[in-house]
Amino acid sequence: MPKLINSTQPPLKFIPHNFNLLILRLMQWWLPLVLRFRTRPWLPAGIVDIQGENAEVLAQLYQQFQAGKIRFLLAFRHPEVEDPLCMLYFISRIVPQVARQKGIQLQYPVHSHFVYDRGMTIWAGNWLGWLFSRLGGVPIRRGRRLDRQAIQTARDLFANAQFPIAVAPEGGNNGHSGIVSPLEPGVAQLGFWCVEDLHKANRTEAVMIVPVSIQYRYVTPPWSKLAGLLSKLEADSGLPVQSIAESAKHEPEIYYQRICRLGEYLITEMEEFYRRFYHQDIPTTIVTAETATSNEVLIARLHRLLDKALQVSEKYFGIPAQGNFIDRCRRLEEASWNWIYRDDLPDIDTLPPLRRGLADWVAQEADLRVQHMRLVESFVAVNASYIQEKHSADRFAETALLMFDMLARIQQSTLPGRPRLGLRQAIIKVGTPISVTQRWEQVQNNRQAAKKAVGILTQDLQVELEGLID
C-alpha cells in the first residue's frame, strides 16, 4: 500500500505486453532466490520448496498446444501475492522436468502470458509494470465494468499467441489457502470468445480451461513465532498480552482461543468506531439462530461490520451497495481511481492553481475514503468454520496475518512487509481440463443459452478448484 496520496495523479495508462525472451531467462534464473528472499534479503523465511502434482497433464497440454491442436487457459487459485512467482517456477521448471522424465517433447521456452491487476504497479512501483510487460503480462483494471483494451488484448492472446494465458478467476488474493473465493465470470467468457474467434477463422483447435490449485504450508509449524505475533497484536490493540507456558506452546486450542479473543476485541472496537464517528447504525447485539455457536455469532458481527465499512465509502462515492463484498470492493477501487488518476483533465501541470488545488483536494479525499474498503478486502473470505474445523498452525497463521494487515493499515500510511513466520512450501495441483469447445457447440446458435453456459462453466470451475484443496 502506498503512502496516502496528497495530490491528483496522471491517468493510469494501459501497459502493452512486450515479451522479451532475455528478461524471461533472467527471471527464471533468479526465481529460486526471489522466492526465498522476496522482500527482506536478510530474513530467509520465504518459499523453499515447490511441489507439483499432475504436472504430466500440463506437459501433455503444452505438447498439444505447440503442435497447434489446442488452445488453453490456466485458471489458477490466488490465495497469496507469491502465487505468480510460484506459477512461473512450476511452468518453467517442474513441467519441463516432468516432460523430460515422461518422454514428452516440448519446445522451449515453456511459458504463459498472464493477466495482472493494474493496481499492483501503484503500490509496488512502475518497475513492476516494466517487468510484467516483458514477461508477457496484461494489466486489467478489475473494477471497470468493461476494460476494453485489457479484455481485447487477453482475448487476442488466448486465440493467437505463442504461449497459453494464465488468469486468476477469483480476481484477487484472499489470504486463505483452503478457501476458494466466488469466481468472476471473465475466465469462462474468455473461453467462449476464444472458440468463437477460432471458428470464424476456420481453425480447428480445441479450447480448454485448466484448473490449477496453489496451497501453502509451513515446513515446520511456527508455533513460537505465531505466539510472538499474537502477543504483538494484543499489545498493539490494547489487550493484555496473554502469556503461554513453554510446555503449552504447541497446544492448538490455546491459539484458537487467543485468535477468537483478539478478533472479538477488534470487532468491538471497530463497531464503536463506525458507530460514533461515521454514524452507522450498529446495534450492540445481533440476531442469530438459537443454535448459533459463539464463533458463528462473531463472524456474523464481522460481516455486518464489513458491510457498514463499505457503506461509508459507497455513500461518499455515490455507489449503490450491490453484489457481494468482492464486487463492492472492486467498484469502490475503480471509483477512487477515477478521482485520483484523472483522465478527464488536460495536463495536470498546466492547470490553473484553483483547478489544481480542487483536483488535489478530491484526490486526497478519495484516497482517504477508499481506505475503508482496504480494511474490508482482507477479510472477505473469513468464515465461521475455517480455523474451527482445522486447528492447524497454517490456518492460525493466515488469520493472524490478516489481523496484522488490518492493524498496520490503521496505524500508519504505509503497509510494512508481513512478518515471516517460517519457511514455507507451495503445493501446486493441476486439475482435470474442461473442454469449452464441447460446451460452445451445444449453445452456439442460442444467445440466451450461451449466456447461461458462461455461468454454468464458472460454477463447474469453482467446483473443480475446490476439489483440489486438501
CA–CA separation, 233 and 239 (whole Å):
8
What's the CATH code, domain 21-219+425-467? 3.40.1130.10
Buried b (16+ CB within 10 A) or exposed e, 107-125: eeebbbbbbbbbbbbbeee
Cβ–Cβ < 8 Å for 210, 433: yes
Cβ–Cβ < 8 Å for 143, 333: yes
The pLDDT assigned to 372 comes to 95
- Among residues 406, 411, 416, 415, which one has the least CA distance to residue 378? 406
CA–CA separation, 277 and 331 (whole Å):
24
The pLDDT assigned to 401 comes to 93
- Among residues 219, 217, 210, 261, which one has the least CA distance to residue 400? 261
CA–CA separation, 209 and 75 (whole Å):
7
The pLDDT assigned to 21 comes to 96
Burial class (CB in 10 A: 0-12, 13-18, 19+), 6: exposed
pTM: 0.91
Angle made by CA atoms 118, 431, 146, in degrees to the nearest 5:
30
pLDDT tens digits, 129-150: 999 999 999 999 987 667 899 9
Q: Give the bridge partners for 214, in sequence order.
A: 428
C-alpha cell at 389: 474445523
Cβ–Cβ < 8 Å for 167, 190: yes
The pLDDT assigned to 36 comes to 75
- Give the helix ranges, DSSP H, for 2-77: 21-36, 55-66
Cα distances (angstroms) measured from residue 4 to each of 59, 368, 389, 409, 469: 45, 7, 39, 11, 37
pLDDT tens digits, 22-62: 999 999 998 888 887 654 433 444 888 999 999 999 999 99
Q: How many CB atoms lie within 10 A of CB 459?
A: 14
- Is the Cα dihedral 226, 52, 124, 1 positive or negative? negative
Determine phi and psi for 247, rounding to 5 degrees.
-70, -15
Cα distances (angstroms) measured from residue 108 to each of 5, 63, 64, 298, 428: 44, 11, 14, 52, 21
Domain boundaries in the chain? 21-219+425-467, 223-420
CA–CA separation, 194 and 205 (whole Å):
10
The pLDDT assigned to 2 comes to 43
Q: Give the bridge partners for 52, in sequence order.
A: 428
CA–CA separation, 134 and 115 (whole Å):
13
Instruction: State which residues of the chain have pLDDT below 50.
Output: 1-2, 39-45
CA–CA separation, 419 and 78 (whole Å):
20
